[in-house]
Structure 1
Amino acid sequence: MTLTLSQGPLSATPPSSVNYDLTGPAHRLFLQEFPRRVRAVVNGETVVDTRRGALLHETGLLPQLYVPAEDVRRELLAPSYHTTWCPFKGRASYWSIRVGDRRTPNVVWSYPRPRTEAAWLRDLLALYWDAADAWFDEEEQVHGHLRDPYHRVDVRRSGRHVRVLVDDTPVAETTTPMLLSETGLPNRYYLPSTDVRRKALSESATRSVCPYKGTATYWSFTAGGRQVQDVAWSYPDPLESALKARGHLCFPHETRRVTVEVDGEPLR
């Protein structure tokens, strides 16, 4: 995400605070080796098993794993007449996956005759993430997408004074938040649960998955007959990069009807 989104150097709006110019097309491609074993499992069968994968970083998109054709179970693939055209990579050919009684159409693709400037894509195949039941990075199952080596999460103890209001009702206040910085995203303040009015919050059914932080649980606000959905989230069992945020709640300041003040100033 770092290179291709937000203001990364391969994004559509790269930063101006540099002493160099990037020449070439506005839509940029960068293929980089992914140095670990990756497997994709469909209906109990390993369809992809590679130690030679590479991530394609492409402007405006999350990195996509491409693997040598030899690392895909070709006997589980059925050719398709479906094609798509990319002005930067060329025409893509597709395959469906057939495993047992399950057929998933048009989920594997390649560029058999890629454009000259992307000739290194020849003989590589890609698989849509959602087409697999499980993905493994070495022996660990990963969710959401493979981690981008240029994306980072840091959590630090902070002494900032953070106050949270929902519909002008105070909900939380602390001087011991955890400050979570994540590449390309605004800083987030995670407040200790002991400094949150937990009786005003109830767990919602909403969940989200972050490959860098884990699975988030969401909380809604209820008071005086009013309810505001999903005003906060927490990571009950965070991944290693967000371990210090365990037991803390984050109130995103962009949420309508939520105000987060840091040292007396509302976040914008």
Structure 2
Amino acid sequence: MGLSWQQGPLSGSGVGRFLSPVPLPERLLFAEPLRRRMRVRFAGRWIVDSEDVVLLHEPGRYPVAYFRYQDLAPGVLEPTDTVTRHQDLGATSWYAVRAGGKRTPRAAWRHTDLPAYAGELHGRVALAWRAMDACYEEDERILGHAADAYHRIDIRRASRHLVVRCEGRVVADSTAPVVLYESGFAPRWYVPRADIDVAALTPVDGKTFCPYKGLASYYDIGGSQRSAWSYREAYSEVARVSDLVSFEPDKVEVELEGTRLAPAPGQSVVPHGFDRDLTPDFVGTDA
């Protein structure tokens, strides 16, 4: 997903490769100016409001926003004795964040012994996304992690014949599916409910959250658990898949134009890092 995560070019498991005459380092970090106004709330207060933000793309991680130390509200950062070591960026000092009678430990960090090549991060602090009340670009809340300009979703209508079977039962038969192309993922096919035997879908408890599409609901099909999902109310940017259903090709038979689809390698979504456990409760956090 995006530049450095999932199968992006800096992820360490990219689906493509750099065409270079010499081998590249195993780990490449990329820092760039965000060029967007970002604001952060904590304990009901705005603790930073800045248009000078640097975004760090690190292999296997979501992008992280770094703010100038002087742009944070006075007294918000409380130094602690905790110091860790980043494998590329050296010694990292940790801060508690305090405001409005609330104190959260290990809610911010700063690299204090940066190598010369990482000067873009000098004097900058990152805030743990989940520890904050909410983060915004202008007046719109950004859920999950800092927005990744390299993450893209394209949705295309199709007229190809898609059939889904489970234990010999035809669950879906459509000549009007839509295909969702998402950075770092293989194409995902979504089917209108009118083309589905909805009696075959058993809703199950437990949803997941995608910062780009919204909350996903899941279904069992026969003895195959959580083998289909649907964004019942997808975000407006991807509204074309709202309430459509997609099927896991490793759990049920999905045929496209007579060819059975197989799951692409490296497609498992794994949360990375202490502040990146994206769960549905995060969506409901009071902003």
Q: Higher strand fraction: Structure 1 or Structure 2?
A: 1
Q: Is the 8 A contact 1:147 1:212 kept in 2?
A: no
Show the counterpart of 2:178.
178
Following superposition, the deviation at residue 13 of structure 1 comes to: 4.2
Cα distance change, pair 71–21 in 1 and its aligned pair in 2 (3 A): farther
Show the counterpart of 1:249.
245
C-alpha distance in 1 between matches for 2:206 and 2:148: 25
Show the counterpart of 1:267.
261
Cα distance change, pair 205–137 in 1 and its aligned pair in 2 (3 A): farther
Provide the identity percentage: 34
Once the two structures are superposed, the pairs formed by residues 1-268 of structure 1 within 5 Å of their partners are 1-14=1-14, 19-21=19-21, 25-221=25-221, 226-254=222-250, 256=251, 258-268=252-262
Q: How many residues align?
A: 262
Following superposition, the deviation at residue 195 of structure 1 comes to: 0.9
C-alpha distance in 2 between matches for 1:66 and 1:22: 31
C-alpha distance in 2 between matches for 1:17 and 1:197: 42
Greater relative CO, 1 or 2 (CA 8 Å, sep 6+): 2
C-alpha distance in 1 between matches for 2:15 and 2:179: 24
C-alpha distance in 1 between matches for 2:112 and 2:52: 19
SS of the counterpart of 1:60? coil
Structure 1 counterpart of 2:54, one-letter code: A
C-alpha distance in 2 between matches for 1:209 and 1:55: 23
C-alpha distance in 2 between matches for 1:22 and 1:48: 42
| Deviation per residue, 1:11-68 (Å, 9 max, x gap) | 3245666543466532111111112222222221222322111210112221111111
Where do 5+ consecutive residues of structure 1 fail to align? Answer: none
Deviates more, 1:196-205 or 1:28-37: 196-205
TM-score, normalized by length of structure 2? 0.83
C-alpha distance in 1 between matches for 2:47 and 2:248: 39
Q: Is the 8 A contact 1:53 1:67 kept in 2?
A: yes
Q: Is the 8 A contact 1:206 1:230 kept in 2?
A: no
Cα distance change, pair 92–242 in 1 and its aligned pair in 2 (3 A): same
C-alpha distance in 2 between matches for 1:213 and 1:15: 22
Where do 5+ consecutive residues of structure 2 fail to align? Answer: 263-287
Cα RMSD over matched residues? 2.1
Cα distance change, pair 22–42 in 1 and its aligned pair in 2 (3 A): farther
